[in-house]
Amino acid sequence: MTQITVVEKILGANDRIALENRKLFDGKNIFTVNLMSSPGAGKTSFLEKIIPPLKSRYSIGIVEGDIQDVCDAERISRFDVPVVQINTGGACHIDGNMVKETFPDLPLNTLDVLILENVGNLVCPAEFSIGEHLKIMMLSVPEGDDKPMKYPLMFKVSDAMIINKVDLLPFVSFRPEKAKNDARKINPGLELFEISCKTGDGIDVFLRWFEEKIDAFHATLTTPSGT
Ligand X SMILES: Nc1nc2c(ncn2[C@@H]2O[C@H](COP(=O)(O)OP(=O)(O)OP(=O)(O)O)[C@@H](O)[C@H]2O)c(=O)[nH]1
Contact footprint for Mg ion (CB under 5 A): 43-44, 72
What is the rounded CA–CA span in Å between residue 12 and residue 183?
27
Q: Kindly state the smallest distance separating residue 140's Cβ from ligand X, in Å.
A: 7
Q: Which is nearer to ligand X, 155 or 217 (CB)?
A: 155
- Interaction of residue 73 with ligand X, rule CB under 6 A: no
Q: Can you name the residues that pair with 140 across neighbouring β-strands?
A: 164
* Residue 32 per-residue DSSP state: E
| Shortest Cβ 168–ligand X spacing (Å) | 5
How many residues interact with ligand X (rule CB under 6 A)?
A: 17
Q: Among 114, 125, 109, which residue's Cα sits nearest to residue 47?
A: 114
Rank residues 100 and 198 by Cβ distance to ligand X and give the closer one. Answer: 198
First-to-last alpha carbon distance for the chain, in angstroms, is 44
Helix locations, the chain, DSSP H: 2-27, 43-55, 71-77, 96-100, 147-150, 152-157, 176-186, 203-222
158 near ligand X, rule: CB under 6 A: no
| C-alpha to C-alpha distance for 13 and 123, rounded to whole angstroms | 19
DSSP character at residue 141? G
Subset of residues 159 to 178 that bind ligand X, contact rule: CB under 6 A: 164-165, 167-168
Q: How far is the CB of 88 from ligand X (least distance, A)?
A: 12
Q: Which CB atom, from 17 or from 63, has the smaller least distance to ligand X? A: 63
Q: Note the residues at the interface with ligand X (CB under 6 A).
A: 37, 39-45, 72, 120, 164-165, 167-168, 196-198
